[in-house]
């Protein structure tokens, strides 16, 4: 009699304990494919994490294609057609995990505008929005900096709402250095290799910087390595440079002022006291030489094709030795960057054929370092190719136009073959600062007498969405069919990204939760926009708003598992009593 009574008891009680609750893993409502490059260990981890997260809101992952760029390109920006790019099952993609690097200036033209739809540009998301086209159009035509910042915020608001690119994290770089180092701008150094005239260690006349690679390129227009860019930027500067006190807008450097009324024609005045590091005056003739060199293909530089879009040999008109006008061939949202290129002295380089510049610079580094003449705070004193050490000395003519001398007398860029060796040199006081490319971690920074600075990288890590996917993009197959449902599905996915956990655990503190595609380090980033918090409840609400049934009837208090446990227990009790009767 015991087992039948137990069953009757369970069956009579459970109907009254039944409640409406949200399912922990509803659905599945539909399935997708994940495409992810296998080149970044940290990205591998959060891609795998998201494969585990998405089923919690009813999105199953049937294919996790963890592969190389050669297989990713034909499915995305390199798709061979026909267009639009279809789903993964159709030879395209559903979601792509990808990282982007943009620098201090982010140009969304062609990335999120309809004129850039694959195959015409970088809009492999296939995102189309009249509001975005208008905002980017205004941004791209606003040569007045303040106006551009206003449109930048409008673009970011649209990206946050529409989520064609679901930002995961903004990574950060770690620079180990001695605590006494002051006068440097971390973002400017990490992004554009800030000239070091204001860098200072109280009481010290020398500065020693460790790099993890050999020095290979010795020409300011022809380098490929960031380590060469760092020391070359101490020798060669441009007419203008970024001003960290003005939101990194461009301000005067060799020039005293520059102006334009249309974003095409600029009038520029060179500081009449400006000199090269050998004492020769900087004149308009030097400027003409540099701009003509910039559109000389035989120089072999990668910017030739870009330069020829914006100027030619006749673009500059000389007004005087220290004044000129330049008429650019077309508008460009970052036109001022075309005034900021590092300048070479004509009297040093004009005798060298453009095709021979690269080889000549290599030769001069060891045999004639005195020819490394620039307008920057330092000049090349000597180069030790055996031990890979660049030794710079203070430019004695720099103060003639800048107003004060560089603080350090000598600056050394030195190669270290291992992170451990470089950190040990920092701890012992032999090195003052390490390059971020040593990839030191916060957990390794417990070394005596040293600290570190975290710097935002001007890029992002994201989940790129195919906006033609019938659930993720157009929303046409959602129970409530339409584009708004697609928006809700993308927001649901965004709420399922544990960004803070990724930053703290996977990146070990070297990351910041992503908000939009716009990099945190790029000029114009909107600090007031929030990132999508991790919340299964909010994600399920968005899935519900797209028409998916995320509520199910479950037993509250006593669920099916408890009922089965009770049945198993009563069965055991009956067996116990039967045995006792024997």
Q: Pick out the chain residues at pLDDT < 70.
A: 1-24, 448, 552-582
Same domain for 193 and 166, yes or no, is no
Q: What are residue 208's DSSP bridge partners?
A: 412
Range of the domain at 65: 30-171+458-549
Q: Where is 249: in which H helix or E strand?
A: strand 249-252
CATH number at residue 493: 3.10.105
Compute the distance between CA of residue 547 and CA of residue 549 in angstroms, rounded to an integer.
Answer: 6
pLDDT given for residue 21 in this prediction: 43
Q: Label residue 126 exposed, middle or buried (CB < 10 Å: 0-12, 13-18, 19+).
A: buried
In DSSP notation, 92-153 reads S-SEEEEEEE--SS---TTTSSGGGBTTTSSBTT----HHHHHHHHHHHH--SHHHHHHHHH
**End-to-end CA, the chain:** 17
User: With b meaning 16 or more CB within 10 Å and e meaning fewer, what string describes 470-497?
Assistant: ebbbbbeebeeeeeebbbbbbbbbbbbb
Same domain for 375 and 427, yes or no, is yes
pLDDT given for residue 24 in this prediction: 57
Q: Is residue 453 part of a domain?
A: no
Same domain for 226 and 373, yes or no, is yes
The 10s digit of each residue's pLDDT in 455-494 is 999 999 999 999 999 999 999 999 999 999 999 999 999 9
CATH number at residue 189: 3.40.190.10
Domain finish residue from 448, 482, 512: 448
Q: Is residue 126 part of a domain?
A: yes
Same domain for 83 and 191, yes or no, is no
Contacts of 432 (CB under 8 A, 6+ apart): 177, 178, 181, 201, 204, 207, 208, 209, 426
- Other beta carbons within 10 angstroms of residue 279's beta carbon come to 10
pTM of the entire structure?
A: 0.86
DSSP single-letter state for residue 75: G
Domain finish residue from 418, 448, 478: 448
Q: Is residue 111 part of a domain?
A: yes
pLDDT given for residue 449 in this prediction: 74
Q: Is residue 394 part of a domain?
A: yes
pLDDT given for residue 553 in this prediction: 41
Q: Is residue 520 part of a domain?
A: yes
Same domain for 242 and 353, yes or no, is yes
Tokens of residue 2, six digits: 């015991």
pLDDT given for residue 17 in this prediction: 38
Domain finish residue from 448, 470, 495: 448
pLDDT given for residue 434 in this prediction: 97
pLDDT given for residue 450 in this prediction: 84
211 to each of 4, 186, 222, 297, how far by Cα in Å? 79, 16, 19, 31
Q: Is residue 193 part of a domain?
A: yes
Same domain for 310 and 253, yes or no, is yes
Compute the distance between CA of residue 92 and CA of residue 34 in angstroms, rounded to an integer.
Answer: 11
Same domain for 504 and 472, yes or no, is yes
Longest dimension (CA), the chain: 119
Q: Is residue 236 part of a domain?
A: yes
pLDDT given for residue 20 in this prediction: 42
- Other beta carbons within 10 angstroms of residue 555's beta carbon come to 16
Torsion, Cα of 521, 188, 441, 166 (10° steps): 10
Contacts of 514 (CB under 8 A, 6+ apart): 167, 168, 169, 170, 460, 461, 462, 499, 531
Phi-psi region of 181 (alpha: psi -120 to 50; beta: other; left: phi over 0): beta
- Other beta carbons within 10 angstroms of residue 402's beta carbon come to 20
pLDDT given for residue 8 in this prediction: 39
As a whole number, the mean pLDDT across the chain is 91
pLDDT given for residue 535 in this prediction: 97
Same domain for 285 and 419, yes or no, is yes
**CA geometry: angle 576, 580, 582, nearest 5 deg:** 125
Domains: count for the chain: 3
Same domain for 415 and 471, yes or no, is no
Q: What are residue 464's DSSP bridge partners?
A: 96, 165
The 10s digit of each residue's pLDDT in 519-538 is 999 999 999 999 999 999 99
Q: Which long-range contacts (CB under 8 A, 24 or more apart) does 347-351 make?
A: 347/280, 348/276, 348/278, 348/373, 349/289, 349/293, 350/289
Same domain for 222 and 335, yes or no, is yes
Backbone angles phi and psi of 58, in degrees to 5:
85, 15
pLDDT given for residue 574 in this prediction: 31
Same domain for 382 and 304, yes or no, is yes
Q: In this structure, are residues 326 and 311 in contact, taking their beta carbons and an 8 Å threshold?
A: yes
pLDDT given for residue 448 in this prediction: 64
Phi-psi region of 312 (alpha: psi -120 to 50; beta: other; left: phi over 0): beta
Compute the distance between CA of residue 75 and CA of residue 37 in angstroms, rounded to an integer.
Answer: 12
Same domain for 330 and 439, yes or no, is yes
């Amino acid at each position: 009699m015991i087992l039948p009574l137990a069953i009757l008891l369970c069956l009579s009680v459970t109907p009254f304990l039944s409640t409406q609750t949200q399912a922990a893993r509803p659905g599945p409502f539909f399935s997708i494919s994940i495409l992810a490059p296998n080149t970044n260990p940290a990205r591998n981890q959060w891609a795998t994490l998201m494969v585990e997260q998405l089923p919690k809101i009813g999105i199953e992952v049937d294919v996790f294609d963890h592969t190389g760029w050669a297989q990713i390109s034909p499915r995305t920006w390199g798709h061979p057609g026909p267009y639009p790019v279809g789903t993964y099952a159709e030879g395209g993609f559903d979601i792509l995990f990808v990282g982007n690097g943009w620098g201090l200036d982010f140009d969304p033209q062609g990335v999120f505008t309809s004129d850039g739809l694959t195959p015409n540009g970088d809009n492999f998301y296939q995102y189309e929005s009249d509001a975005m086209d208008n905002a980017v159009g205004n941004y791209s035509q606003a040569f007045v900096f303040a106006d551009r910042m206003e449109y930048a915020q409008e673009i970011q608001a649209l990206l946050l709402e529409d989520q064609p690119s679901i930002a995961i994290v903004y990574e950060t770089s770690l620079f180990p250095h001695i605590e006494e180092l002051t006068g440097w701008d971390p973002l400017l150094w990490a992004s554009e290799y800030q000239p070091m005239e204001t860098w200072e260690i109280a009481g010290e006349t020398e500065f020693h910087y460790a790099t993890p690679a050999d020095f290979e390129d010795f020409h300011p227009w022809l380098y490929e390595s960031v380590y060469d860019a760092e020391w070359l930027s101490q020798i060669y500067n441009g007419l203008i440079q970024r001003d960290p006190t003005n939101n990194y807008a461009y301000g005067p450097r060799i020039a005293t002022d520059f102006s334009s009324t249309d974003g095409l024609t600029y009038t520029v005045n060179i500081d009449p006291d400006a000199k090269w590091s050998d004492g020769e005056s900087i004149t308009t003739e030097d400027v003409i030489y540099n701009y003509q060199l910039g559109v000389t293909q035989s120089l072999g530089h990668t910017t030739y094709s870009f330069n020829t879009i914006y100027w030619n040999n006749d673009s500059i008109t000389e007004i005087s030795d220290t004044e000129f006008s330049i008429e650019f061939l077309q508008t460009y949202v970052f036109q001022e960057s075309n005034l900021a290129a590092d300048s070479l002295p004509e009297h040093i380089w004009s005798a060298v054929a453009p095709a021979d510049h690269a080889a000549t610079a290599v030769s001069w580094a060891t045999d004639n370092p005195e020819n490394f003449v620039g307008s920057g705070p330092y000049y090349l004193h000597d180069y030790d190719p055996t031990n890979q050490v660049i030794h710079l000395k203070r430019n004695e003519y720099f103060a003639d136009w800048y107003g004060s001398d560089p603080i350090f007398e000598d600056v050394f860029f030195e190669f270290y073959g291992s992170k451990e060796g470089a950190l040990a040199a920092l701890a012992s006081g032999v090195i003052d600062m390490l390059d971020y490319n040593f990839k030191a971690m916060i957990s390794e920074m417990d070394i005596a007498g040293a600290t570190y600075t975290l710097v935002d990288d001007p890029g992002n890590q994201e989940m790129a969405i195919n906006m033609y996917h019938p659930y993720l993009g157009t929303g046409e197959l959602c129970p409530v069919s339409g584009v708004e449902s697609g928006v809700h599905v993308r927001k649901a996915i965004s709420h399922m990204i544990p960004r803070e956990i990724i930053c703290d655990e996977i990146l070990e503190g070297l990351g910041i939760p992503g908000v939009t595609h716009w990099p945190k380090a790029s000029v114009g980033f909107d600090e007031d926009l929030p990132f999508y918090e991790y919340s299964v409840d909010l994600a399920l609400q968005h899935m519900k708003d797209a028409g998916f049934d995320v509520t199910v009837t479950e037993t509250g208090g006593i669920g099916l598992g408890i009922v089965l446990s009770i049945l198993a227990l009563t069965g055991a009790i009956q067996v116990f009593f039967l045995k006792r009767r024997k």
